[in-house]
């Protein structure tokens, strides 16, 4: 019975992580599409403000019940909100001004699983076993194959812009978030947890967004901006983060983070669907390698949970 329950939890966690990645993959498209509509800080501020308003009706009662726990762990929530929300998404939207959506997806998916797996082994005692290592290696191979178009020598001719470096930093932020969300204090519900972090992200960004709107890049208020902020504020935030946090608690930080390697593949699918680009055999092969890495990493072990 224990083994059957473990398998079911893994299956549910995998489904939740995949759905979250499907939603998140559109974030890179938005970050590129909206570069002429709002600055990166303003866009991140709009995102977390809408996310806070959206989740408030569902999380308010739990927050009131749990507010003492929040007060006792104020430093933890502050830094999780700053690093995992305010800084992370600002870095993504900044990268969108300087590099392509595909590069953003590829770089982010390479960096954060490696960071998450390593930090998980150090800080939350998640064992770095052969499954974790094999999964990451296969994920990286699949992504490198996609980047180099099947010719490994092409890697020496890749050009990385300042936007790519912003995405490297963003990958470190999200990798750290994936690990330390496992240290969420006992007694805190998922919806109140997200409410507080969304609010911290919005509040922290508010003064910087006002400055950006007035002195760096004015906001263009139109239907396109409304669609963008609703998508990232409700879909990418409230829905996707709830699914992702649930997946982490069922799979663990290292296993969940590996699903992030699906994002470049999903971005390619979206490009075919939305931009009418062709899907070639190389993308199919690299996608299969990435998926194999995920299966290896998340396949239940009878020895550990028999």
Q: What HEC string does the chain produce?
A: CHHHHHHHHHHHHHHHHHHHHHHHHHHHHHHHHCCCCCCHHHHHHHHHHHHHHHHHHHHHHHHHHHHHHHHHCHHHHHHHHHHHHHHHHHHHHHHCCCCCHHHHHHHHHHHHHHHHHHHHHHHCCCCCCHHHHHHHHHHHHHHHHHHHCCCHHHHHHCCCCHHHHHHHHHHHHHHHHHHHHHHCCCCCCHHHHHHHHHHHHHHHHHHHHHHHHHHCCCCCCCHHHHHHHHHHHHHHHHHHHHHHHHHHHHHCHHHHHHHHHHHHHHHHHHHHHHHCCCCCHHHHHHHHHHHHHHHHHHCCCHHHHC
Q: Shortest CA distance to 51 belongs to which of 105, 101, 89?
A: 89
2: in domain: no
Query: pLDDT averaged over the chain?
Result: 82
* CA dihedral over 242, 247, 249, 253, signed as positive or negative: negative
For residue 306, what pLDDT band results from cuts at 50, 70 and 90? very low
CA torsion, points 128, 120, 241, 263, in degrees to nearest 10? -40
Q: Quick one: angle between helices 2-33 and 281-298, nearest 10? A: 140
For residue 160, what pLDDT band results from cuts at 50, 70 and 90? low
What's the domain range around 195?
Answer: 23-305
17: in domain: no
Determine the Cα–Cα distance for residues 34 and 43; give it in Å rounded to an integer: 8
For residue 283, what pLDDT band results from cuts at 50, 70 and 90? low
Q: Which residue has the higher pLDDT, 293 or 153?
A: 293
| Domain count across the chain | 1
Q: Is the pLDDT of residue 2 over 60?
A: no
87: in domain: yes
Looking at residue 48, its pLDDT comes to 96
Q: Which of 40-54, 172-186, 242-256 has the highest mean pLDDT?
A: 40-54
16: in domain: no
Q: Which of 73-77, 183-187, 241-245 has the highest mean pLDDT?
A: 73-77
* pTM, to two decimals: 0.77
7: in domain: no
Looking at residue 114, its pLDDT comes to 75
12: in domain: no
Looking at residue 69, its pLDDT comes to 95
48: in domain: yes
13: in domain: no
Taking a C-beta distance cutoff of 8 angstroms, is the pair 265, 22 a contact?
no
301 φ, ψ (degrees, to nearest 5): -105, 120
User: Which tokens sit at 284?
Assistant: 């199919």
């Amino acid at each position: 019975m224990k083994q059957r329950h473990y398998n079911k939890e893994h299956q549910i966690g995998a489904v939740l992580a995949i759905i979250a990645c499907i939603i998140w993959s559109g974030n890179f498209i938005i970050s590129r599409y909206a570069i002429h509509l709002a600055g990166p800080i303003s866009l991140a501020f709009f995102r977390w403000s809408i996310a806070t308003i959206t989740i408030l009706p569902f999380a308010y009662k739990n927050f009131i019940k749990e507010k003492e726990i929040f007060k006792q762990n104020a430093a933890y929530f502050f830094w999780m909100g700053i690093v995992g929300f305010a800084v992370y998404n600002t870095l993504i939207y900044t990268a969108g001004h300087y590099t392509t959506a595909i590069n953003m997806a590829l770089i982010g998916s390479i960096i954060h699983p490696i960071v998450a797996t390593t930090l998980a082994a150090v800080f939350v005692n998640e064992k770095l076993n052969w499954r974790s290592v094999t999964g990451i290696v296969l994920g990286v191979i699949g992504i490198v194959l996609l980047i180099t178009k099947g010719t490994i020598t092409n890697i020496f001719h890749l050009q990385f812009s300042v936007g790519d470096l912003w995405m490297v930093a963003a990958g470190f932020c999200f990798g750290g978030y994936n690990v330390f969300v496992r240290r969420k204090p006992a007694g805190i519900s998922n919806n109140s947890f997200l409410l507080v972090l969304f609010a911290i992200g919005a509040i922290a960004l508010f003064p910087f967004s006002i400055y950006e709107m007035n002195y760096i890049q004015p906001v263009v208020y139109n239907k396109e901006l409304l669609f963008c902020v609703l998508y990232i504020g409700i879909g990418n935030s409230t829905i996707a983060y709830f699914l992702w946090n649930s997946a982490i608690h069922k799979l663990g930080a290292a296993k969940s983070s590996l699903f992030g390697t699906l994002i470049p593949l999903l971005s390619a699918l979206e490009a075919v669907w939305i931009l009418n680009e062709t899907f070639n055999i190389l993308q199919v092969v690299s996608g299969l390698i990435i998926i194999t890495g995920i299966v290896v990493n998340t396949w239940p072990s009878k020895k550990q949970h028999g």
